[in-house]
Amino acid sequence: MFCPTSSIIRGLFANELTDWSLFPEAEEFWGAELQTLEGHADEVYSLCASSHGQRLASGCRDGTIKLWDSATGQLQQTLSGHSDTVRLVNFSHDNQLLVSASVDEIIKLWDATTGELQETFENHPTWLYTVVFSPDSQQLVSYSENGTMNMKIWEATERKPLQTLKERPGPVDSIAFSPDGQEVGSGLEDHTFKPLDFDLRQRLQTLGEGSGSIGNVSFSPDGQKLASSSEDGIITLWVPTADTLQPVKKIQARGPALLEFSPDGQKLAAASNDIVELWNIEKGVVEGTCDGRSHRPGEHGRITSLSFSPDGKHLAFDPFDKTIRVWGLTDDPPKILSGHTRRVTSFVFLPGCQQLASASEDRTIKIWDLTAGKSQQSTNEKSFSGSTRSIAFSPDGQQLASGLTDGTIKLWNLTTGEMKPIRNAHDDAVQSVAFSVKGYHRLVLASGSDTTIKLWDPKTGQKAWPLGQLHSAGVRSLGFLPDNRLVSGWSDGAIKVRNTKIWDITTSDMTIRAHDASVESISFTKDGLLVSGAYDGTCRLWDLARSANQPEQVFEGAVGDFDGSIRTISISPGDQQLAGSAPNGPTTVWNLNLSKDPKDPKDQRRQIHERHSNWVWSKSGAGISILDGQWLCLNGERKLWLPKQYRADCIATSHERIALGHPSGDVSFIMMPQAHG
């Protein structure tokens, strides 16, 4: 189902899909993504590959390190010991050791084969920024700072540092070993570059160049040149003499730049803001320029890392927009590796130069085939930077609206398949979308972040009317009663009911002090009873015709993530059942009692579905949910495994059609076989 339409495997298993009448949209050909390695429970902030490319190590926000087989994607080991984010991991050059540095101010040295902890270095009093092995794998250099330079040189098998360099204020922006391991270079913010003699353990010289701080340094592969970049955009090339370093060339770049020598040492890549320049060092001229601007509207490129492939034929860089660009050093645009749903934090070429591995805040590591796919332009007008926050079908099931975290609204015509975006509909995330019930279907959209509610014409995408500026709290959820009155749930726990013919939403016909926490979701029975779900872990049933002071019934949710908060609620078509889901589960399903005499809340609970979220009902009364963020389930049973790019932050149903709202900002549509209650 998710395989490319022209793929062999799709053809082989075509008969298995005959019961599925609606498929999500798939690509025609396989893309560059080979594998997605899953297993981290939190954001991945560091990644490295062994020198032979057979293993990957990744460091996580939860303090764990994972070792992977890069060929199979199999998790080999999980190393625990840090108490905070692992910011750096590095294999030794002989692949026997692995070093990790954490926000907990501790460096740990591990046996890369057995996973056993070898040494713990605890003498760093402040936040560790970097740690690197010497070329012979026998020594380490680490750097931390608290307003004073604090660089330590360690024997890899000893817990005590050989030397601590701590002489003057001025944070170090970068450090690098020379290839022979005899020197370490550091760039400081006090406008100086400091080459350090590694054998003598003493400072050789302070060289001030340029009018700005020296932010980045890079050694050439042969150790015969060193480049430094200053804040005023001057790149200085240095060569070693008997007892010093001499500046031999200055280059005026676009601004302060990240620097990287090509493997042959003949070229220098300089990334400044959103542009990469390739300099011929001998001639002092730019041989190529690559535009690194974000291809996502509303995002501004800021290149945070770059690296040459080992063969020098490609340069990869991270434009800070959830993608990686791989530039072939020609006039052709770079290849865009797109698939992560959050910021890319680290990447590395694998030996052979045909593959690249990347880590992301989306908790995954991906391995990419650099020979697959095509180069793409840096600007793609169909791309969006936000993830899908909310979706809603129109009452007739012919339209769907989705609200994105970047303030965009997408209007989908489900007959023609046309999608019409409303860019910058709100200044911040669109928290909720809803269609009016009667008459001309106008779409009401709310953003709790920019505190506005707006009406839109779904046929034209034009604003129909602003409903006013909200003040004390933002709107978290919206809905319409059968009589077309607008009901809004607020982050201060209030529910407000307003006649939509009166456009000033800052006043209301009725205000209910419904919950002690944010009202995250609202829904209605066929008879116009209101159900609200909130961060206080309860769902409450209200009869607005009887009383706005006391709920008719209170449903206590199961304790789960976020203290059991209710993120979404859904009422079955016959008003027989109510489902309330926490953000990552569980989901509690109650039997609704709509009689005048409420039941004991303990008797209302029907079943708890652990780890199920986003529970909704099909027209026939089947319960549809997401298990562990990966499985689309029917009545609690697994039916369809969702690949990473098809996983949903929110879901909605109309008749038997299921809409999945993805972190990419896209929406997919599926119709499961036998979706009956």
- End-to-end Cα distance, the chain: 24
The total number of structural domains in the chain stands at: 3
Of the two residues 627 and 376, the one the predictor is more confident about is 627
What would the mean pLDDT of 70-86 be, rounded to a whole number? 93
**pLDDT for residue 325:** 92
Does residue 605 sit within a domain? Answer: no
* Strand duo 97-102 + 335-338: pairing: unpaired
What's the CATH number where 154 sits? 2.130.10.10
Does residue 657 sit within a domain? Answer: yes
Burial class (CB in 10 A: 0-12, 13-18, 19+), 15: exposed
- Boundary residue ending a domain (178, 197, 216): 197
pLDDT at 238 over 90: no
Portion of the chain with pLDDT greater than 70, in percent: 70
| Integer Rg of the chain from CA | 29
**pLDDT for residue 46:** 93
Of the candidate ranges 188-202, 210-224, 329-343, 593-607, the one whose mean pLDDT is the lowest: 188-202
**pLDDT for residue 62:** 94
pLDDT at 449 over 70: no
What would the mean pLDDT of 336-353 be, rounded to a whole number? 88
**pLDDT for residue 114:** 94
Same domain as 466, residue 558: no
Alpha helix ranges (H) inside 507-622: 561-564, 601-604
Strand runs labelled E in 500-593: 510-513, 519-524, 530-534, 538-542, 553-556, 568-571, 577-581, 587-591
Of the two residues 425 and 633, the one the predictor is more confident about is 633
Question: Rounded mean pLDDT of the chain?
Answer: 77
Same domain as 193, residue 150: yes
Does residue 367 sit within a domain? Answer: no
**pLDDT for residue 28:** 63
Most confident of 17-21, 126-130, 607-611: 607-611
**pLDDT for residue 213:** 56
**pLDDT for residue 650:** 92
Does residue 627 sit within a domain? Answer: yes
pLDDT at 145 over 50: yes
What would the mean pLDDT of 493-511 be, rounded to a whole number? 63
What would the mean pLDDT of 153-162 be, rounded to a whole number? 55
Backbone angles phi, psi at 16, to 5 degrees: -75, -10
Same domain as 620, residue 550: yes
Does residue 577 sit within a domain? Answer: yes
Of the candidate ranges 86-95, 420-429, 472-481, 558-567, the one whose mean pLDDT is the lowest: 558-567
Same domain as 521, residue 498: no
What would the mean pLDDT of 305-318 be, rounded to a whole number? 91
Portion of the chain with pLDDT greater than 90, in percent: 23
Does residue 87 sit within a domain? Answer: yes
**pLDDT for residue 665:** 84
What would the mean pLDDT of 356-374 be, rounded to a whole number? 86
**3-class state of residue 644 by DSSP:** helix
Same domain as 177, residue 135: yes
Alpha helix ranges (H) inside 520-570: 561-564
- Boundary residue ending a domain (197, 220, 244): 197
**pLDDT for residue 184:** 52
Q: Quickly state the pLDDT bin for 597 (edges 50, 70, 90).
A: low
Strand runs labelled E in 312-373: 315-318, 323-327, 335-338, 344-349, 355-360, 365-369
Of the candidate ranges 270-279, 525-534, 603-612, the one whose mean pLDDT is the lowest: 603-612
Q: Quickly state the pLDDT bin for 42 (edges 50, 70, 90).
A: very high
Same domain as 500, residue 518: no
Of the candidate ranges 217-221, 253-257, 437-441, 472-476, the one whose mean pLDDT is the lowest: 437-441
pLDDT at 203 over 50: no
Of the two residues 602 and 54, the one the predictor is more confident about is 54
**pLDDT for residue 63:** 95
Q: Residue 272 to residues 171, 196, 276, 460, 463: CA-CA distances in angstroms?
A: 20, 27, 6, 41, 40
Contacts of 659 (CB under 8 A, 6+ apart): 391, 393, 400, 651, 652, 653, 667, 668, 669
Same domain as 81, residue 133: yes
**pLDDT for residue 531:** 93
**pLDDT for residue 205:** 37
**pLDDT for residue 489:** 84
Q: Quickly state the pLDDT bin for 644 (edges 50, 70, 90).
A: confident
Question: Which residues lie across from 583 on neighbouring strands?
Answer: 585
Same domain as 661, residue 515: yes
Does residue 238 sit within a domain? Answer: no
Strand runs labelled E in 372-493: 388-393, 399-404, 409-413, 419-422, 432-435, 443-447, 452-456, 463-469, 475-480, 486-490
What would the mean pLDDT of 109-132 be, rounded to a whole number? 78
pLDDT at 224 over 60: yes
pLDDT at 664 over 70: yes
Check if the beta carbon of residue 576 is closer than 8 Å to that of residue 588.
no
What would the mean pLDDT of 538-567 be, rounded to a whole number? 76
Same domain as 495, residue 432: yes
Does residue 32 sit within a domain? Answer: no
pLDDT at 236 over 90: no
**pLDDT for residue 188:** 42
**pLDDT for residue 532:** 92
pLDDT at 616 over 90: yes
- Boundary residue ending a domain (449, 475, 506): 506
Of the two residues 256 and 559, the one the predictor is more confident about is 256
Give the domain range for residue 77.
44-197
Same domain as 646, residue 548: yes
pLDDT at 247 over 70: yes
Same domain as 526, residue 482: no
Three-class HEC string of 272-321: ECCEEEEEECCCCEEEEEEECCCCCCCCCCCCCEEEECCCCCCEEEECCC
pLDDT at 127 over 70: no
pLDDT at 222 over 80: no
Alpha helix ranges (H) inside 396-526: none
pLDDT at 19 over 80: no
Check if the beta carbon of residue 62 is closer than 8 Å to that of residue 103.
no
**pLDDT for residue 210:** 47
Same domain as 501, residue 453: yes
Contacts of 364 (CB under 8 A, 6+ apart): 36, 37, 38, 40, 44, 340, 644
